[in-house]
Amino acid sequence: MVSQMTGVQETQPRNGQAARAQSLDRRQGSVTLAKGATVGLIGGLVGTIVMDLALLAMHRTIGAPRSASFATIGDAAAVLCSRVGVGLAGGTPTGAVLHFLIGSGLGVVFGGGLARIEALHQSSRKRVVGLGALYALVMSQPLLAAAAITLRMTPAETAKWYGISVLQTVYGSVLGAIASRGLPHDSIGSVIARLGVSVHSVCTSPRPVRCPGSRYGSSLPAG
């Protein structure tokens, strides 16, 4: 009877410790929405800058003005705003501001979604990078189409405009790379929690073992 009570007393602390460790593991392992959005914001800004550098190089190669894409974005936004009675100056400055706002916003959405979906932020870095490239390519299509329709581009202009969509994968790849490194696959807290459970299991096992910190200071007798 005494041995049964002892076994129950040993099992209850072990189960309680394991439950607390599992709860801590979930809290520490889960990435908050705020952190995901912050990492996505940084990734979106860096990705936009890298994409712009590639865009400038492409414009120089084909002989187009360096600010052509910014001007197109600004002019399209000005036309759309005028249709709803809002005055907005078009051109390069407006386009550049909108360009970075869109890049940052898409990064925040990506980072937040990655943080909220456990299966995604636990994925390999290579998969997250590929997901970022696909995300940017898909999300850019409505924006490119809106500009082409609003400005009534010719088929040749539309083809040239859509040609820059390839660079969206550059933006997305950089975004995914930063997000995969900013959202850890494992946390220090979860490792410590699992280590604590292992030590407790060893110290409460029926085999004679020496437990650090035990009040007996020596090996415990078998139960």
**Is 57's pLDDT higher than 90?**
no
Whole-number mean pLDDT of the chain?
75
Mean pLDDT of 89-102: 90
* Domains held by the chain: number: 2
Mean pLDDT of 92-108: 93
Residues in Cβ contact with 32 at an 8 Å cutoff, skipping those fewer than 6 apart? 115
| Predicted TM-score of the model (pTM) | 0.66
Task: Please tell me which residue, 32 or 195, carries the higher pLDDT value.
Answer: 32
Q: What is the pLDDT of residue 180?
A: 86
Mean pLDDT of 131-135: 94
Q: Do residue 62 and residue 104 come from a single domain?
A: yes
Q: Among the listed ranges 118-132, 135-149, 195-209, which one has the minimum average pLDDT value?
A: 195-209
Q: Do residue 194 and residue 171 come from a single domain?
A: no
For residue 137, tell me if it sits in a domain: yes
For residue 14, tell me if it sits in a domain: no
Q: What is the pLDDT of residue 104?
A: 95
**Is 222's pLDDT higher than 80?**
no
Task: Please tell me which residue, 124 or 108, carries the higher pLDDT value.
Answer: 108
What is the domain extent for residue 200?
Answer: 189-223
